Amino acid sequence: MKKHPILMAKQEAKKLAKTSGIQLKQALKQIAFQNGFDDWSSYKKHIDTYWSPKGSPFLNQWFANLDQAKSYHMQNGGFLLTFKGQYFVTNAEYIEYIGFDPRDQVWQTVQYDLSSSESLKTFFKYYGKDK
């Protein structure tokens, strides 16, 4: 399992900020420019494909707005994931389909929500891929 591309880009930006003496925000923008994008937000949406690497036979609930996704997630349960700047709530079968165990303790730790960088860090640290 490889690390989530957004976490990898942020890690690269942190190194760039430290070695260049610039703010993280500037480093993120520079990383985006290096990859052909005008800003970090556009680049982030482009690389946010980790949770949907292949076509899916599953019906997921999709949202363009994080607050709506979180509200649906809180009311209905499931697993909150991201894809290209959007959000979707899915079920345990989908989690197995993409190669993870929906019963792993880490899901409770992140409250079945991988929509933030902090929850992604926790998730990948659990799987021993935070290196």
Tokens of 45: 């949406």
What confidence tier does 130 reach under pLDDT thresholds 50, 70, 90?
very low
Note the Cα 22 to chain centre separation in Å.
25
Number of domains observed in the structure of the chain: 2
41/57 same-domain check:
no
Instruction: Write down the pLDDT at residue 34.
Output: 92
pLDDT at 1 over 70: no
32/84 same-domain check:
no
Whole-model pTM? 0.76
35/67 same-domain check:
no
Residue 123 structural domain: 48-131
5/20 same-domain check:
yes
Tokens of 25: 């925000």
The per-residue DSSP string of 22-76 comes to --HHHHHHHHHHHTT-SSHHHHHHHH--TT--S--SS--EEESSHHHHHHHHHHH
52/2 same-domain check:
no
82/32 same-domain check:
no
Of 75, 81, 69, the C-alpha closest to 107 is 81
